[in-house]
C-alpha cells in the first residue's frame, strides 16, 4: 500500500529525470561554443540552438574547416541536426603580370598595325608615345590591357 | 581604395552585367579588373563606362582585361580588319613567316583558339596558320 502512495512521487521523479537527461538548448549552445573555440579557425562562428537544431553562421577560411566543424558539432550531445550557414570567402586571384620578354613580343604583335605610335616595355609597364585618334587608341588599349601588363603608361600619347 | 571609388560605377556594372570570374584588385597604384563578358556588347559597355571616369584612357591607373566568352561550336569567323588583308602566319607571332592571306570581310574556318591573341585558322584554299584574334569575329 505504501508503494501506491509513492507512485505520484515516483512519476514526478521519472519525469524530472527524463527531462534532466535532455540538455536544454542553452546548454547545447554553450557546449558547441566551447567546442568551436578549441579550434582558432572556427572560434568566430556564431551559434544558435532551437529544439536541438544548431544553426551556425559567420565565416570560415575554407571548405575543409567547414566540413570538420559540421561533423564535430553533429556529435555534441543534444544536437539533433546542424544547419550550417557559414560561408567561405571567395579567394581573389593575385594579379598576374606578363614577363618582359613575352610581353615585348605580344606588344610588337598588338602594335604592328599602329605605326603612328611607339610602344616600349620595361618592368611590365607598356609606355606608349605618339599621336593617335581616340577610336584607334581605344582599340589599341583594349588589346594592350589583354596582354596582362603591370600598367599602360600613355603619358606621352596625344589624342588627335 | 581611392581607385576602387573612382571606378566604382565600372565595377558595379561588371558585377551587374554577369561578368564571370570577375576579379578586382588594387596594387601599386593600378586597379586590375579581369573577367569574362557574356557578349561583346557587354565588354563595349564596360569600356564606355571606363571612359566616363578616365576620358581617352590616358590616366594609366586601370588595366581592364575583359575577354568575351566564346561559343565552342563556332567554326566560322569573319575577317574584320579595317580594310586590309589579314596575314596568316606559320606560328603565333608577327615575327613568324606569312603563309597566306585572307581578304577583309572574308569568312574563314576557325580551327582552334590557341591563345587570347592568336587563333589558328584555315582559308578556303586550305592554307592553315595563325591569325591575330582581334581581327576575327565569330559568325553565329
The three three-digit cell numbers of residue A48, written as one number: 544558435
Beta-carbon separation of B57 and A154 below 8 A: yes
pLDDT in tens, B81-106: 988 999 999 999 999 999 999 999 99
Residues of A in contact with B57 (CB under 8 A): 137-138, 141, 152, 154
Q: pLDDT digits over B44-84, tens only?
A: 999 999 999 999 999 999 999 999 988 888 899 999 998 89
CB distance B66 to B19 below 8 Å: yes
CA nearest to B51 within chain A? A138
The reply to whether residue B60 touches residue A112, judged by beta carbons under 8 angstroms, is: no
Instruction: Measure the CA angle with vertex B62, ends B133 and A142; round to 5°.
Output: 20
Do β-strands B30-37 and B62-68 pair in parallel, antiparallel, or remain unpaired?
parallel
Residues of A in contact with B19 (CB under 8 A): none
> Is residue B95 within 8 Å of B103, Cβ to Cβ?
no
Burial class (CB in 10 A: 0-12, 13-18, 19+), A149: buried
For the whole prediction, is pTM greater than 0.90?
no
Q: What is the pLDDT of residue A136?
A: 95
Mutate which: A152, A153, A156, vs B, most B CBs within 10 A: A152
- B residues 93-112 near A, CB within 8 Å? 93-95
How far apart are alpha carbons B81 and B136 in whole angstroms? 8
Q: Are the C-beta atoms of residues A53 and A81 closer than 8 Å to each other? A: yes
Q: Give the integer Cα–Cα distance in Å for A115 and A37.
A: 65
- Is B132–A145 a contact, with Cβ atoms under 8 angstroms apart? no
Inter-chain residue contact B93 with A112, CB threshold 8 Å: no
User: Cα(first)–Cα(last) distance of chain B, in Å?
Assistant: 41
* Cβ-Cβ contacts under 8 Å, B134 against chain A: 110, 139, 143
Q: Is B64 on the interface with A (CB under 8 A)?
A: yes
- Given CB atoms, is B116 within the 8 Å cutoff of chain A? yes
Tell me if chain A has a CB within 8 Å of the CB of B113.
Answer: no
Q: Is the pLDDT of residue A124 over 80?
A: yes
Residue of B nearest to A108 (CA): B94
pLDDT per residue as tens digits for the range A9-60: 666 665 555 555 667 999 999 999 999 999 888 988 999 999 999 999 999 9
What grid cell was written down for A33? 561554443
Count of A-B CB contacts under 8 Å? 66
Amino acid at each position: 500500500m505504501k508503494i501506491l502512495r509513492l507512485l505520484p512521487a515516483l512519476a514526478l521523479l521519472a519525469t524530472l529525470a527524463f527531462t534532466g537527461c535532455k540538455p536544454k538548448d542553452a546548454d547545447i549552445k554553450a557546449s558547441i561554443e566551447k567546442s568551436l573555440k578549441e579550434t582558432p579557425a572556427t572560434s568566430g562562428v556564431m551559434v544558435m540552438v532551437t529544439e536541438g537544431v544548431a544553426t551556425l553562421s559567420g565565416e570560415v577560411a575554407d571548405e575543409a574547416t567547414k566540413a570538420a566543424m559540421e561533423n564535430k558539432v553533429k556529435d555534441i550531445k543534444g544536437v539533433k541536426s546542424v544547419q550550417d550557414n557559414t560561408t567561405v570567402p571567395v579567394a581573389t586571384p593575385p594579379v598576374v603580370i606578363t614577363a618582359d620578354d613575352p610581353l615585348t613580343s605580344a606588344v610588337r604583335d598588338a602594335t604592328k598595325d599602329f605605326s603612328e605610335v611607339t610602344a616600349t616595355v620595361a618592368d611590365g609597364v607598356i609606355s606608349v608615345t605618339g599621336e593617335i585618334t581616340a577610336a584607334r587608341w581605344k582599340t589599341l588599349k583594349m588589346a594592350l590591357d589583354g596582354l596582362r601588363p603591370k600598367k599602360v603608361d600613355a603619358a606621352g600619347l596625344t589624342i588627335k | 581604395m581611392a581607385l576602387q571609388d573612382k571606378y566604382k560605377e565600372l565595377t558595379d556594372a561588371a558585377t551587374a552585367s554577369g561578368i564571370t570570374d570577375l576579379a578586382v584588385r588594387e596594387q601599386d597604384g593600378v586597379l586590375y579588373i579581369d573577367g569574362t563578358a557574356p557578349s561583346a556588347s557587354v565588354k563595349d559597355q564596360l569600356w564606355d563606362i571606363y571612359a566616363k571616369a578616365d576620358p581617352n584612357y590616358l590616366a594609366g591607373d586601370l588595366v581592364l582585361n575583359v575577354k568575351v566568352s566564346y561559343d565552342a561550336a563556332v567554326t566560322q569567323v569573319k575577317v574584320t580588319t579595317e580594310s586590309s588583308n589579314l596575314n596568316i602566319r606559320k606560328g603565333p607571332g608577327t615575327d613568324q613567316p606569312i603563309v597566306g592571306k585572307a581578304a577583309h570581310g572574308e569568312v574563314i574556318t576557325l580551327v582552334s583558339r590557341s591563345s587570347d591573341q592568336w587563333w589558328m585558322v584555315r582559308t578556303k584554299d586550305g592554307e592553315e596558320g595563325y591569325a591575330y584574334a582581334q581581327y576575327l569575329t565569330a559568325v553565329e
